[in-house]
Structure 1
């Protein structure tokens, strides 16, 4: 595992947001959803996420997730993904979202 300096970590804007809308993204090569995430003072940001194995669109709405907010936006088909919703491999290549276990204000920074 490569090590980094703490100043490198501080450069990453890891913030929490609440998924307000989720739709099936039919124009991707791999199954994915379009997500809209409320990041409080930073507004609603969009993300494309390959998380269809463990979640339905209905289950996602209202879920708080940890997001990388300062990557450059990325065009995926006809959708601009502005943030990266984070998660962990479940051991079989399927993603489980990184969430919080107690609700916190949207836009809060990970420390």
Structure 2
């Protein structure tokens, strides 16, 4: 694994946001959801997330997730993904979302 210094880490804009809308992403190659995430001052941003194995849509509304906010937007089928929702492999094909253990203001930066 390559090591990085603090200036490399500081280049990544990691923020918390609340999922405010979700739809099944039928045109995606792998089972996915379309997410709309309230990132505070950054506004509502869209993301495609392959998290259908562990999460039902109704349990995601209001959930706070950690997002990479400064990647270039990525076209996925007919949907423009603007941020990357982060998570951890639970087992093959199952991603557990990276979140916080208490509510913090949307748009807060990870330090």
Judge same fold: TM > 0.5, yes or no: yes
- Partner residue in 2 for 1:70: 70
SS in 2 for 1:71: coil
Q: Distance in 1 between matches of 2:31 and 2:103?
A: 28
- Shift in Å at residue 13 of structure 1? 0.2
- Partner residue in 2 for 1:92: 92
- Partner residue in 2 for 1:105: 105
Residue 53 of structure 2 contacts residue 93 of structure 2 at CA under 8 Å; is this kept in 1? no
- Partner residue in 1 for 2:34: 34
Q: TM-score, normalised by structure 2?
A: 0.98
- Partner residue in 2 for 1:19: 19
SS in 1 for 2:91: coil
Q: Distance in 2 between matches of 1:82 and 1:108?
A: 17
Aligned residues: 111
Query: CA offsets, 1:64-105, max 9 Å, x none?
Result: 000000000000011000000000000333100000010000
**Which runs of no fewer than 5 residues in structure 1 stay unpaired?**
none
Q: State the 4+ residue runs in structure 1 displaced beyond 6 angstroms.
A: none
**Which runs of no fewer than 5 residues in structure 2 stay unpaired?**
none
CA RMSD of aligned residues (A): 0.6
